[in-house]
C-alpha cells in the first residue's frame, strides 16, 4: 500500500472522486503543509497556519500507479489558479502535491512538467515534502457520501 497527500481546493469533492478510483483503498480529509502539527478547520480557514486542505489517499500501486493518480489529480481541478478553486479563495485551497520520498518527488515533477506543457506554463501547483499532516474533524470525513445518503 502507498500513500499520497494532495491539495486541490476544498477536500470534500476530491475525497469523493478519489474514493471511486480503482485501486484506492481509503481516503481521508485532512490538513497538511502548515506550521503546526495539529490544527483545526477554523485555524486553517483563518489563513494563519499555512495548512492546505488535502486528501490523504491510500492506494494499491499494483492497480493504480502514483503517476496515474497524479494525472487524475491534475484533471480533477484547475491547477492554473493560485490559491483558488471555484468560489473558494485562500492559501488553504492551493494546488499542492506533498511527497513522502524522492521517488514520489521525481514522479510529481515529471507529471507536473507534462501538464505544464499542456497548460502553456501556467501551472501553479507546488511540490513539497509532507509535513504536519493532521486528520480533519469527523464531520468533514466522507462529507459528500454522508450528505447523499
**149 exposed, middle or buried (CB, 10 Å; 0-12, 13-18, 19+)?**
exposed
Rounded CA-CA distance 56/148 in Å is 21
What are the cell numbers at 109? Answer: 515533477
Catalytic: which of 4, 10, 29, 55? 10
Strand order in the sheet with 52-59: 126-129, 95-99, 2-8, 52-59, 24-32, 134-135
| Residue 45 falls in the annotated catalytic set | no
* Active site (catalytic) residues: 10
Amino acid at each position: 500500500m502507498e500513500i499520497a497527500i494532495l491539495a486541490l481546493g476544498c477536500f470534500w469533492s476530491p475525497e469523493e472522486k478519489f474514493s471511486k478510483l480503482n485501486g484506492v483503498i481509503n481516503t481521508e480529509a485532512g490538513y497538511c503543509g502548515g506550521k503546526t502539527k495539529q490544527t483545526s478547520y477554523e485555524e486553517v480557514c483563518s489563513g494563519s497556519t499555512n495548512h492546505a486542505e488535502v486528501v490523504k489517499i491510500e492506494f494499491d500501486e499494483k492497480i493504480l500507479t502514483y503517476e496515474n493518480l497524479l494525472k487524475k489529480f491534475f484533471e480533477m481541478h484547475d491547477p492554473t489558479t493560485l490559491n483558488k478553486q471555484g468560489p473558494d479563495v485562500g492559501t488553504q485551497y492551493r494546488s499542492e502535491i506533498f511527497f513522502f520520498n524522492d521517488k514520489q518527488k521525481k514522479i510529481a515533477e515529471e507529471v507536473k512538467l507534462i501538464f505544464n506543457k499542456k497548460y502553456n506554463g501556467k501551472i501553479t501547483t507546488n511540490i513539497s515534502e509532507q509535513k504536519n499532516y493532521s486528520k480533519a474533524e469527523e464531520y468533514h470525513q466522507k462529507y459528500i457520501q454522508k450528505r447523499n445518503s
